[in-house]
Amino acid sequence: MRFTNLFTKTKREAPADEVAKNAQLLMRAGFIHKEMAGVYSLLPLGVRVVNKIANIIREEMNAIGGAEMQSAALQRKEIWGKSGRWDDEAVDIWFKTELQNGTELGLAFTHEEPLAAMMRNFVESYKDLPAYPYDIRTVFRNEPRAKSGVMRGREFFWKALYSFSVDEAQHNAFYEKAKQAYINIFNRAGIGEQTYLTFASGGSFSQYSHEFQTLSDAGEDIIYVDEEKKMAVNKEVYTDEVLADLGLDKNKLVEKKAVETGNIFSLGYKFSEPLELMYKNEAGELKPVFMGSYGIGITRLLGVIAEERNDDRGLVWPAAVAPFQVHIVVIGDDIADQANALYDQLQQKGIEVIIDDRNARPGEKLADADLIGVPVRVVVSSRSLEQGGVEVKRRAESEASIMSVDEFIASLG
C-alpha cells in the first residue's frame, strides 16, 4: 500500500478524552477512530490487523470442523423470551430498538438463542450431529462504563462458535479440541506466553468454565497464576476447595491483573431445552442437544496486543498480526525509482509492504514508522544506496544495518 492512499494521519499527542493506553496508541498511530466512548471505527491499518487476527482464528476453527456463517444482528423477542434472557433485568447490556409497526427488537450481544432456534431446521437425527457453526461479526453490548479503549467496546468484533452435540461425551471431545485451538490462536497471535488457561465459574452442567486470560496491568480481572503449570484460577472461584480440586499449591500462585481474551463454556441443555432443539437417537428417542459456546474478542485482542506490545516510540506488532511486514521509508526525491522498484519486487513476492512516498521530512517519516510499528523498516536514501543498498532495522531492535536489496529480500525468508 502507498502511504498517499492511506487517508489517515498520525498524531503526536494522545487525545484528551481517552484514558486507555491501547486506544491512545491506536488513535495516535491511525488504526482506529473514536466515535464515542466504547465505539470505534477501524481505519485501514486497524482493518488489516483485525483481518490478520480473524484469519488466524478462522483457520483454527475450520481445522476443528467449524463452518463460518454470519448471524443477523437484529433479534426477535419471542426467541429470547424462551430462555428468559430478553428481560433487561436478566441481561442488563441489551441495546433495544423497534420496527415501524412497534415490534420490539434487540441487537445481538451473543447468539445462543437464535442459533439453537435455527438449528431446529437442520437437526432431526443423531446423524445430523455434531455441528459447529461460527460467526466472525460485530456484536453490541450496552456497557454502563466504557473506559478500556477497544478492550471493552459497546460495539465490538468477535468470533463465537457454538457446538451442538448428541451428548456430553461427544461434547467433551470437541471441547478439548477447542481448548487446544485457542492455545494455538494465542500463540500464533504473539501473546501466547502471557495468556493463561484459567478456571472460572461454570454452569449447571460443568463445575468450571475456561477463560483465556492475557496478563495486562490494564486488565479488569484478577487471576492467580501457576507459571510452571501454565494455568490460572479466576478470583471468582479462588477457594481452598477449588485449589485442592485442581491440584494447585496456594504458595506457588501469583496474583495478576489480566484481560479475558477468550472463553469456552459447556452449556449443556440450558438453551436447547427451552428452545426445543431435539434430535432422535439411534433408538428413535427424542433427546435434547448438548450445547457449548466458544468466544474470542477480536477487537479486544487488537487492544491487548497494542497495550502490551509497545515502547516509548509507539507500537511493536508481532509479525503474525502486523498490518504490513515491511515499511519502506523513502528519503530524498532522487531515489523514487529505486524505492518503487523495491516496493514492486516485494509486492510480487507476496510480502505485505507499505511505502512512505509522502513529500515529508525524514524525521517525520521515521517517527511515523516507529509509531505504526511494522516489524521491518527499510530506509532507501541516496546515502544508503552509496553504502551499497538499503538500511534495514527491525522495530524491536535498536541497530540498523546496510544490506543489498537481494540480501534484504533473502533475510525476509
Which residues lie near a copy of itself (CB under 8 A)? 1, 5-9, 33, 35-36, 39-44, 46-47, 50, 65-76, 95-101, 105, 107, 114, 118-119, 121-122, 127-128, 131-133, 138, 140, 142, 144, 154-155, 164, 359
243: Cβ–Cβ under 8 A, 6 or more apart, which residues?
A: 233, 249, 250, 253
Angle, in degrees to the nearest 10, between helices 44-63 and 168-188:
140
In degrees, rounded to 5, the angle at the alpha carbon of residue 74 between the alpha carbons of residues 68 and 77 is: 120
CA 13 to chain centre: 26
| Closest distance of CB 358 from a copy of itself, Å | 9
Contact of 401 with 40, CB cutoff 8 Å? no
129 vs 405, which CB is nearer to a copy of itself? Answer: 129
43 vs 53, which CB is nearer to a copy of itself? Answer: 43
| Closest distance of CB 7 from a copy of itself, Å | 4
| Closest distance of CB 138 from a copy of itself, Å | 7
| Closest distance of CB 5 from a copy of itself, Å | 5
107 vs 396, which CB is nearer to a copy of itself? Answer: 107
C-alpha grid cell, residue 50: 483485525
User: CA-CA distance, 304 to 176, in Å (whole number)?
Assistant: 25
| Closest distance of CB 211 from a copy of itself, Å | 25
* Local structure of 204: helix, strand or coil: coil
10 Å CB burial of residue 46 (0-12, 13-18, 19+) is: buried
Residue 210's identity, in one-letter code, is H
| Closest distance of CB 9 from a copy of itself, Å | 5
10 vs 184, which CB is nearer to a copy of itself? Answer: 10
50 vs 225, which CB is nearer to a copy of itself? Answer: 50
Question: Which H helix or E strand runs over 378?
Answer: strand 376-381
8 vs 194, which CB is nearer to a copy of itself? Answer: 8
C-alpha grid cell, residue 21: 493506553
237 vs 372, which CB is nearer to a copy of itself? Answer: 372
User: CA-CA distance, 401 to 392, in Å (whole number)?
Assistant: 5
| Closest distance of CB 155 from a copy of itself, Å | 5
Place of cell 468466544: 295
